[in-house]
Homo-oligomer: A and B are copies of this chain.
Amino acid sequence: MSTESLIFEKGAPGRRGATLPALDVPEQALDALIPAALQRKTPASLPEVSEIELVRHYTHLSQRNFSVDTGFYPLGSCTMKYNPKINEEIQALPGFARIHPLQEESTAQGAIQMLYELEQYLCEIAGMQRFTLQPAAGAHGEITGLMVIKAYHESRGEGYRNVIIIPDNAHGTNPASATLADYQIEQVRSDARGNMDVEALKAVLNDHVAGIMMTNPNTLGVFDENIETIARLVHEAGGQLYYDGANANAILGITRPGDMGFDVVHLNLHKTCSVPHGGGGPGAGPIGVKEHLVPFLPGPLPAKNENGYFWEDVGEQSIGRVRANYGNFLALVRAYTYIRFHGPDGMRHISDSAILNANYIMHALKDAYELPYDRTCMHESVFSANWQKEHGIHATDVAKRLIDFNIHPPTIYFPLIVPEALMIEPTETETKETLDNFIAVMHQIAEEAKTNPNVLLEAPHFTPVGRLDQALAARKPDLCWVGA
């Protein structure tokens, strides 16, 4: 089980898995259909494997992959909650999985209805006027939202606004998205309580500010208590407030970005609404806006009249499409199913429980790891491995040692303002036993850091591969198999 060769290294010439029926229309000469110059000369050198080889190969690969279904995954900022199996069942219905985005609206009434209703739910959850479901992920939502903000300013003759304010604890996608939208970045520091430093904010506010991007709770896991002041100040300076919804699992039914003063919000449905992360995607990052920004949303938007549901074109002011078709539809079906399952009480219970679990862990680990911002947290908490450093132990070593206990490590080295950060998000779907076990293991590791640091430095011990040479990978990039 310690190595699995590539699919290209398996099989033999002439082997194959699935086959088609024989061609049942009269065959015409290829040259008669396609000019020789445009024909492929040799077939792509795809794998040649039988079905049993295929099955064993990818079954083995799956066995070499940790996942929520196999263990605790407290990866901060990622909301690795349980992915309900009913969602998988519903999205696989032929009436959802086997419909074409361009078939006539009258033959897709169920699909449009679902997206129409989902939009309404998201508006209610976020306190927004309308949502577009097109963005495929959080970062896609960010760039879409920034485009909306840009179009808004332009519509008011303020196209010169070219600065986006970003807190020093922001996720990397925030500044990257701002660049994509051709904005300059102003970074604002956090204060000692982990809130945005309001004085520092004031210092950068001027009429070049297009807006600010924030999460709340922020990436330190704490709720920014100054949010109203911030919203007022930014609005007074003519800026718009963008809410990065990566942490929305902390606020469902408790508070809403719209009520905090945000103008645009994205929700990561692959976090908050249990769309499986898929080993990296697909997700869904719809954005919602307040009324004044609605004209700028990409279109079309789902609508309803006496004849039923339809796709309504948006007006001239729209930023235009940000992707083909209507979004990651099957991810949206899962999110819809999830919201319908929970209802109002269930949704609130998610956040309450996520907050409780996070505080339970935070409280129990305070004595063993440095807690830079020692306040009640929301759905996650950020520790530091600073205390372990004197033993030559870094956050990464703590992380690798956790793997030995079949626990996925927290997010490490993020947010950047916490050195040796360990960002722990248990989510609401974990049992007390799992949390207690994690706490015990983390204590053991803190102890080992003192008494037996090598066991951390050499970890992980039981995985099919040990620590991998990242430098080599980057120095001599091998991204594509080119033959034995």
- Measuring CB to CB, which residues of chain A are less than 8 angstroms from any residue of chain B? 1, 10-12, 15, 50-53, 55-56, 59-60, 63, 68-71, 82, 84-85, 406, 429-433, 462
Q: Which of A11, A52, A431 has the most C-beta atoms of chain B within 10 angstroms of its own C-beta?
A: A52
Q: Which residues of B contact A431 (CB under 8 A)?
A: 11-12, 15, 50, 52-53
How far apart are the CA atoms of A82 and B68 in the complex, in Å?
A: 29
Q: A1-B406, A52-B431, A84-B51 are in contact. Are A69 and B59 (CB under 8 A)?
A: yes
How far apart are the CA atoms of A432 and B13 in the complex, in Å?
A: 13
Q: Which residues of B contact A82 (CB under 8 A)?
A: 51-52, 55
From B11, B50, B70, A63 is in contact (CB under 8 Å) with B70
Question: Do B84 and A56 touch across chains, with their CB atoms under 8 A apart?
Answer: no
Closest to A406 in B: B1
Q: Which 10 A-B residue pairings sit nearest by Cβ, starting from the closest?
A: A52-B82, A59-B69, A52-B429, A55-B69, A59-B70, A53-B431, A56-B69, A56-B70, A51-B82, A50-B431
From B12, B70, B429, A60 is in contact (CB under 8 Å) with B70
Offer 8 A-B interface pairs, CB within 8 angstroms, sorted by A.
Answer: A10-B433, A12-B432, A51-B84, A52-B68, A52-B429, A55-B69, A59-B70, A60-B70
Closest to A63 in B: B63
A59 CB → nearest B CB, Å: 5
How far apart are the CA atoms of A137 and B84 in the complex, in Å?
A: 36
Q: Which residues of B contact A68 (CB under 8 A)?
A: 52
A129 CB → nearest B CB, Å: 33
Closest to A71 in B: B56
Closest to A49 in B: B431
Q: Which residues of B contact A70 (CB under 8 A)?
A: 56, 59-60, 63
A349 CB → nearest B CB, Å: 13
Question: Do A52 and B85 touch across chains, with their CB atoms under 8 A apart?
Answer: no
How far apart are the CA atoms of A10 and B437 in the complex, in Å?
A: 13
Closest to A1 in B: B406
How far apart are the CA atoms of A56 and B71 in the complex, in Å?
A: 7
How far apart are the CA atoms of A15 and B429 in the complex, in Å?
A: 12
A279 CB → nearest B CB, Å: 16
How far apart are the CA atoms of A11 and B55 in the complex, in Å?
A: 34
How far apart are the CA atoms of A344 and B82 in the complex, in Å?
A: 47
How far apart are the CA atoms of A15 and B432 in the complex, in Å?
A: 12
How far apart are the CA atoms of A212 and B235 in the complex, in Å?
A: 94
Give me 4 other A-B pairs in contact (C-beta within 8 A), A1-B406, A52-B430, A56-B69 excluded: A55-B69, A59-B70, A60-B70, A63-B70
How far apart are the CA atoms of A12 and B51 in the complex, in Å?
A: 43
Closest to A68 in B: B52
Q: Which residues of B contact A12 (CB under 8 A)?
A: 431-433
How far apart are the CA atoms of A50 and B430 in the complex, in Å?
A: 9
Q: Which residues of B contact A56 (CB under 8 A)?
A: 69-71
A61 CB → nearest B CB, Å: 12
Q: Which of A50, A69, A431 has the most C-beta atoms of chain B within 10 angstroms of its own C-beta?
A: A431
Q: Which residues of B contact A51 (CB under 8 A)?
A: 82, 84-85
How far apart are the CA atoms of A447 and B329 in the complex, in Å?
A: 59
Q: Which residues of B contact A430 (CB under 8 A)?
A: 52
